Structure 1
Amino acid sequence: MSSDAREWVWEHSSSRGTARLVLLSIADRVTDEQCVSWASLSSLAQRTRASVSTVREAVHRLVHAGELEQLDDLVGPQRSTVYRLPLAAEAVTQALREQQEKDDEDAAVSDEPAAPAKLRLSVLRRYGIRPREVPDSPARVRNPAVAETGRPKRKPAQRRTGNRHNDVPETGRQNRSEPDLNRRYSSGGAAVLSAAEWQVDPATHTWARQQGHLDRLGEQGLQAADAKWRAHRADFKPRPAEAWAADWRSWIAREHAPSRPNLHAVPGKNTAAPGGMTRTEAHTAALLAALDEPTGTEG
């Protein structure tokens, strides 16, 4: 009879998507013409490759459409839920009735649908389906939250849609007073962003001016060095803003000016290295200045 139930689902059911797969899985366990079946949400989820919540929602839609009934007064093997396909049962019963009338030459053909027959529990017991145990006396019911069917009344969980915290906006800043600069936070609370997203903050710009790098490179040279640094750091993993700032300072300190100045110191004049020169450039200038000094052996 499971083949008849499955054929009804394929040919006549209006369900779609996951709900259709759930109905086919339930019909696959139909035992007889009563179209009674049993299944658990976990087994249906495993068969349909869907989540338990999706299967639960599909069952709700099928029950609402009238293509599935949940028999709460019965329980299946391993305390699974018992279902019935009422439309499929009506179609199967009607087909059996027509076949019987066809075999009986004296019977009159009737177009009226067959009345739904009462479930035969003696037959269902063969397949592990039995009535749910109900307490005989109210004194045995200690928990008032337990329904008469023996199943506890569970408060349906609300679907979590959208933002869980109503006081936090979906997008934008949580604290509207904080700046947007370098403000991508990780789960640990530190700002983690890529080199392209990191921007030179006022403290770093002040450092470049105080150290003389702005005078040494110029505004355009500093921008060119910044672009070169971002190109070399494009494939680096995201880091905190403080790490990018330290790396950027180290890069700018090693960057040469667009037009290298004459490193030869002029004898008799101030030989102090300009404030914008690096330590290597200062040592080179001092060495060249010493080579240019007269030794008294010139002919």
Structure 2
Amino acid sequence: MPAKLPYYLGCPAWSNRDWIGTVFPDGTAPADLLRKYSRLFNTVEGNTLFYALPPAATLERWMAESAPSFRFAPKFPKAISHERRLHSAKEESKAFFKVLETLADGDKLGLSFLQLPPSFNINNLDTLTKYLKALPKDYAFAVEPRHISWYDQGDNEKRLDDLLETLGMDKVIFDSRPLFSQEADDHEEQSAMERKPQMPIRRVAISQHPMLRFIGRNDSDKNHVWIKEWAPVINKWILEGKRPYIFAHAADDAYAPFVARRLHQQLAKVNPLLPQLPDFESDRAKSAPDQEQLDLF
């Protein structure tokens, strides 16, 4: 991944073995997946932290294996957000902040995001306010609301946006419109439709690191309408001096890197100064001479 890329682009994980032979070379060892991934993309969603915090030795290994310009985007543990619901989570938060500190000391910490439970609504604003105000001031944060009360286009939404603006935080944009745009093509898309929410879309950057989680279909061509819509928005943020975080998902995340690349390719049409992404293994395979043709000579 070119260090000069003016925004962060990544996938939900780096350890998808389905990418071996398509995104990564055949024979790539599982232990080399992060090293290979961080040469293609410059960030990753830290979804594993939602379930369990890694020990210090694991963090040190991640930082050593990833490219110098790479940044991790940790997700707050569910013990804080979904189990404690931001109440009495001092010890859990302290442990999470230690992870952030370790990544920051290694210059590998990106944007951390707090996903709120689906039932956590505007009536919990005081709880959210108290928790956000107590977060460390040295790190960048974003909040992902998942209850419709936060999106009333009125006082409720303004109260949240004003809070985030005051604290210098961003609001995660969760765009699953491509996934739900038509009937499922396969079991993975049907399963994803049953699990993923449909949230209102706000194309607004509140602070310096707007975050878009784009939930695409497995067939990248079917995401084009929404990718084309997002490209000028993302480019506007870049031109304003912001550093967006863009994460590409697919119903089957075997296809997520191809969704991410399609996003970047469309963005490069809007901003031709952007560098190209490195080739995937499938690109090299397509460009290699056909052996049967070579045998003719």
Is TM more than 0.5 here? no
Indicate the structure whose relative CO is greater, using CA pairs within 8 Å and at least 6 residues apart. 2
- Could you tell me the TM-score, scaled by structure 2's length? 0.20
